[in-house]
Structure 1
Amino acid sequence: MDRKEFLRRGFSALGIAAITPLISCSSDTVDPVDASSGTTTGSATGSTSDTCTATASETAGPFPTKSPSGLVINDITSDRTGTKLSVTLTIQNLNSSCEGLAGALVDIWHCDAAGNYSEYGGSGMQSTNYTTVHFLRGRQTTDANGRVTFTSIYPGWYSGRAPHIHVHVYNASGKSLLVTQIAFPEAISKVVYAQGVYASHGQADTTNARDNIFRDGVSTEMSTVTGSVSAGYELTHAIVVSA
């Protein structure tokens, strides 16, 4: 089964058991994973407090980072080429008046300009074999204001999905708090995909509204992206968890 078919059938039809082996069967998987939050697609809106709304939970997808504790890095670009993207995430605690959550572990991962993920490949889900390399994956710990930053490239796309970044947030003790995804403004993606290494891959074939994950809304998952192709882009986004 390829990725497009996987997405068309929907993650709920596959069930938790079908996804869990991808997360847990590897011998180097040593990080805590909450299987339910890692495989269940949430609604576009969540619990609310006086000042903020919980970020929607989403699937970790078929390509979660196998051992994120070994990828504690700020610059996750590795050898991948593309338009520079600076990612700043603020983790807020719904249960503490939406204050920044200090000491949280934040993992992010996304595909390269051609739509491929590291750590996987050589199968129907992804033909290009990148099973022995690690790129566009990293972990950081939030500062006193609940903030982490990463240096990366603008994600590419693959058939059936709109551009996105995966995020998994843990508390300082390693308890899973939220698995979610970050959406991108389509107008900016169109500009990026018309140039450089992205041009040969063309424009994304799926909009946010038609995306299997985002089609129920992106009110808590849409990022703010500013900048330009020449200077690079800056992504900022707040993720609200219950800690």
Structure 2
Amino acid sequence: MAVGLGGALAVDASADDDTTADLCYTLTSETVEGPYYIPADKIRQDVTEDQDGIPLTLTLKVIDAETCEPLRNAAVDIWHCNAVGVYSGYEASGSGGGGGGPATGTLTATPTGTPTGAPPSGGPGGPGGGGHQEPTDDTRYLRGTWRTDQRGHATFRTVVPGWYQGRCAHIHVKVHVDGTWTDAGYEGGHACHTGQLFFAEQAVLLTQEVEPYSTNTTTRTTLDEDTIYPGNGHAGGLLYLSYDRKRIARGVRARLILGVAPDETHDGG
């Protein structure tokens, strides 16, 4: 939960990104994959393409929850909707009534790997998070995969996600291990974590006043109303946020430590 500092800066800094003493031995909650996952399309840190929105720098640190050691060379996937609730690759699905037109783009990389496990049931806003759907187009904005460094960090540049029918603002994330990095990307291995990242209500309320978020006419589901958020704070994917409360349009920095079990498989099914 963000708190005001100096009257303008809103920051949740109660845990240093590199201090894991209080976070070791705590697994980050697993959630459903959802219907809009496309595996390893783009190996890149900047996933923005030409999407409008509040700039977001997202830093994730992946650790082994048992040993507290950082996971090096893991592949981290993120994907999320744009400011008006539309997912790339699935523009035909719209935004659940959110309105607004998404940008277009062209697929420039070949996916490596396929989803595994049985898809969950239910619609995108329902309790199951929606079964996997095949892409309807070649757009791939706001999606990317990046390699964790020696300290377990993977940093992405994107925009703050909007919302769509039945869901609060969120980012999907997967962590893959035991695979091989090649010129084509990341191959093999398994997903040891599938989860979602969430935003404190104070920040989302501020985004509603900024274009193009202000053009999203979908009734917004709050964090507490969301059926996917596990309600357990940072262990459940609630991000630590830093932003200027009076000028959130300038950008947001978000971070979280992901505690995973690298020997297990959690593919979101």
Same fold (TM over 0.5): yes
The Cα shift of 1:124 comes to 7.7
CA distances 1:149-194 after superposition (whole Å, capped 9, x unpaired): 0000000000110110000101142211010000101101110121
216, 228, 251: which is aligned to 1:232? 251
The Cα shift of 1:203 comes to 7.7
Unaligned runs of 5+ in 1: 1-48
Specify the alignment match of 2:239 in structure 1. Answer: 223
| Aligned-partner Cα distance in 2 for 1:216–1:88 | 21
| Aligned-partner Cα distance in 1 for 2:88–2:223 | 24
CA distances 1:41-100 after superposition (whole Å, capped 9, x unpaired): xxxxxxxx98331011001111012x31x300110001100010000000010132x121
Specify the alignment match of 2:228 in structure 1. Answer: 213
Structure with more of its chain in helix, by fraction? 1
44, 57, 61: which is aligned to 1:86? 57
129, 135, 143: which is aligned to 2:149? 143
Specify the alignment match of 1:7 in structure 2. Answer: none
| Aligned-partner Cα distance in 2 for 1:168–1:232 | 24
| Aligned-partner Cα distance in 2 for 1:125–1:158 | 5
State whether residues 108 and 167 of structure 1, in contact with CA within 8 Å, keep that contact through their aligned partners in structure 2.
yes
| 1:74 paired to 2:45 | yes
Unaligned runs of 5+ in 2: 1-21, 103-135, 180-188, 263-269
Alpha-carbon spacing, 1:125–1:62, altered in 2? closer, same or farther (3 Å)? farther
| Aligned-partner Cα distance in 2 for 1:215–1:95 | 21
Amino acid at match of 1:76: V
148, 158, 177: which is aligned to 1:152? 158
Specify the alignment match of 1:40 in structure 2. Answer: none
Specify the alignment match of 1:178 in structure 2. Answer: 193
State whether residues 60 and 154 of structure 2, in contact with CA within 8 Å, keep that contact through their aligned partners in structure 1.
yes
State whether residues 208 and 215 of structure 1, in contact with CA within 8 Å, keep that contact through their aligned partners in structure 2.
no
Alpha-carbon spacing, 1:171–1:200, altered in 2? closer, same or farther (3 Å)? same
| Aligned-partner Cα distance in 2 for 1:115–1:163 | 9
| 1:242 paired to 2:258 | no
If the length of structure 2 is used for normalisation, what is the TM-score? 0.66
The alignment partner of 2:212 has SS state of helix
Amino acid at match of 1:100: P
Specify the alignment match of 2:69 in structure 1. Answer: 99
| Aligned-partner Cα distance in 2 for 1:91–1:78 | 25
The alignment partner of 1:210 has SS state of coil
Amino acid at match of 1:108: I
The Cα shift of 1:237 comes to 0.7
Amino acid at match of 1:168: K
If the length of structure 1 is used for normalisation, what is the TM-score? 0.73
| Aligned-partner Cα distance in 2 for 1:124–1:107 | 22
The alignment partner of 2:241 has SS state of strand
Alpha-carbon spacing, 1:218–1:151, altered in 2? closer, same or farther (3 Å)? same
CA RMSD, Structure 1 to Structure 2 (Å):
2.3
The alignment partner of 1:199 has SS state of helix
State whether residues 25 and 66 of structure 2, in contact with CA within 8 Å, keep that contact through their aligned partners in structure 1.
no
- Give runs of ≥4 in structure 1 deviating > 6 Å: 124-130
Alpha-carbon spacing, 1:209–1:194, altered in 2? closer, same or farther (3 Å)? same
State whether residues 45 and 157 of structure 2, in contact with CA within 8 Å, keep that contact through their aligned partners in structure 1.
yes
